[in-house]
Amino acid sequence: MNNKSVKKKVLVMGSRGMLGQELVDIFKGDSDYNVTAWDFNNIDITDEVQTKEKISKLKPEIILNATGYNAVDLCEKDKAEFEKAKKLNGKAPGFLAKIAKKLDATLVHYSTDYVFDGMPDVMEPEGCGGSCGSCRLHEGFTPEIGFREDAITIPLQKYGKSKLMGEETVQRFGEKYYIIRLSKLFGKPAKSKTAKRSFFDVMLEVGKKNKEVKVVDEETSCFTYAPDLAKKTKEIIESGKPYGIYHVANSGACTWYEAVVELYKMAKIKTKVVPVSSDEFPRPAQRPYVSTLINTKLNPLRSYKLALREYLKQNKF
Ligand SMILES: NC(=O)c1ccc[n+]([C@@H]2O[C@H](COP(=O)([O-])OP(=O)(O)OC[C@H]3O[C@@H](n4cnc5c(N)ncnc54)[C@H](OP(=O)(O)O)[C@@H]3O)[C@@H](O)[C@H]2O)c1
């Protein structure tokens, strides 16, 4: 498709974020697409009037919402911050869904494994063992592995509540939408100034400065490599998958501790890694003990170990 007039118009929101920058790259690398990259300095998506006006003028056929309020602990303890989280993660996706519907555009919205609780008592309630198939807690839940796309959502913390609100507003107001849940995102640091550094970058720095590090041996879930997720997003859209909820994360569920052992092995860092319980690092927001995302609808992504190896090589750590 070389004719400029038939290029598909894609709008990436949150384009300077960790995921957003990869979405921009993957779509810009394909001459079938005409990409518009917007970040907070171009548009504030929590302002419904402004958002409606700007997007209606652009008329994209695909809208990718990679914005996000991700300060999990801050919004747990501060009311004003929780309000911000609800505005950006909860209400704004609904504005996008309404506009997308009006324009007959496809909306891709990103959510999180933190919509699930994953507490051990939920995993193995007495007498059930996780396989009864009839109790409320086990609907769509496979104890040994994690949560399917249709598993019951019970967020443990305010961040998860704000993200679930976003899923609900997209479902309520949208028509042609994909809600893609991911977990533990890693990749090149975001260009935006408010964005978090990924866990692996932080642990590489800590490892180089210390002889021993303590790492939480809990919170089993899968890492998601931002370039792999961007590529999969494009694949989902292009293959015309049915609209709905998808789980996209790299294979190989692990705890934070297990991931750091792997990281230091790959990066040849000799620092001793000590497994500890989450009680050693109390934080305001509770995390799911296990929140592995089970993908029943797509070809699986490569393992996080392969993705991490590539990340380390490309970024010369
Ligand atoms: N990071 C994770 O581990 C993780 C885990 C699960 C799910 N997710 C989800 O994955 C998605 C992408 O996350 P990410 O880590 O790539 O995010 P990120 O790096 O924090 O980037 C978010 C982007 O959104 C922009 N933004 C913030 N407020 C905005 C507003 N009102 N209007 C327009 N743009 C705004 C930010 O711009 P400024 O910096 O200029 O403000 C930033 O570029 C989010 O939906 C997130 O909730 C992330």
CB 181 within 8 A of CB 108: no
Please give the angle made by the CA atoms of 30, 33 and 34, to the nearest 5 degrees. Answer: 125
- Res. 197 pLDDT band, cuts 50 70 90: confident
User: According to the model, what pLDDT value does residue 145 have?
Assistant: 74
Residue 255 CA to ligand 1 centre (angstroms): 23
Atom of ligand 1 nearest to the CA of 19: 16
- Token pair listed for 131: 């396989």
Exposure of 54 in the CB half-sphere (CA atoms within 13 A): 20
- Whether pLDDT at 125 is above 60: no
Atom of ligand 1 nearest to the CA of 87: 31
How many residues are present in the chain?
A: 317
Domains of the chain by range and CATH? Answer: 7-314 (3.40.50.720)
- Res. 219 pLDDT band, cuts 50 70 90: very high
Cβ partners under 8 Å of residue 202, min gap 6: none
pTM, to two decimals: 0.92
- Res. 119 pLDDT band, cuts 50 70 90: low
Choosing from 18, 24, 50 the residue with most ligand 1 atoms within 8 A of its CB, the one to mutate for a pocket test is: 18
Atom of ligand 1 nearest to the CA of 113: 6
- Whether pLDDT at 121 is above 70: no
Mean pLDDT for the chain overall: 91
Choosing from 12, 15, 40 the residue with most ligand 1 atoms within 8 A of its CB, the one to mutate for a pocket test is: 40
Nearest residue to 248 (alpha-carbon basis) of 181, 184, 311, 148 = 181
Mean pLDDT, residues 95-112: 98
Mind listing the pLDDT tens digit for each residue in 52-90? Answer: 999 999 999 999 999 999 999 999 999 999 999 999 999
Cβ partners under 8 Å of residue 144, min gap 6: 130
Nearest residue to 106 (alpha-carbon basis) of 52, 37, 168, 178 = 178
Mind listing the pLDDT tens digit for each residue in 236-295? Answer: 999 999 999 999 999 999 999 999 999 999 999 999 999 999 999 999 999 999 999 999
Mind listing the pLDDT tens digit for each residue in 27-56? Answer: 999 999 999 999 999 999 999 999 999 999
Nearest residue to 264 (alpha-carbon basis) of 201, 198, 193, 207 = 207
Mind listing the pLDDT tens digit for each residue in 198-209? Answer: 899 999 999 999
- Whether pLDDT at 95 is above 90: yes
User: According to the model, what pLDDT value does residue 195 have?
Assistant: 67
- Whether pLDDT at 130 is above 80: no
Percent of the chain whose pLDDT exceeds 70: 89
Mind listing the pLDDT tens digit for each residue in 139-153? Answer: 665 555 789 999 999
The binding-site residues of ligand 1, defined as CB within 6 angstroms of any ligand atom, are: 13-14, 16-20, 39-40, 43-46, 66-68, 70, 88, 110, 112, 182-185, 190, 192-195
- Res. 196 pLDDT band, cuts 50 70 90: confident
Which residue's alpha carbon is at the smallest distance from atom 11 of ligand 1? 66
Residue 57 CA to ligand 1 centre (angstroms): 24
Residue 20 CA to ligand 1 centre (angstroms): 8
Which residue's alpha carbon is at the smallest distance from atom 19 of ligand 1? 17
- Whether pLDDT at 122 is above 50: no
Choosing from 48, 181, 192, 233 the residue with most ligand 1 atoms within 8 A of its CB, the one to mutate for a pocket test is: 192
Which residue's alpha carbon is at the smallest distance from atom 39 of ligand 1? 192
Which residue's alpha carbon is at the smallest distance from atom 4 of ligand 1? 185
Residue 143 CA to ligand 1 centre (angstroms): 30
Residue 69 CA to ligand 1 centre (angstroms): 6
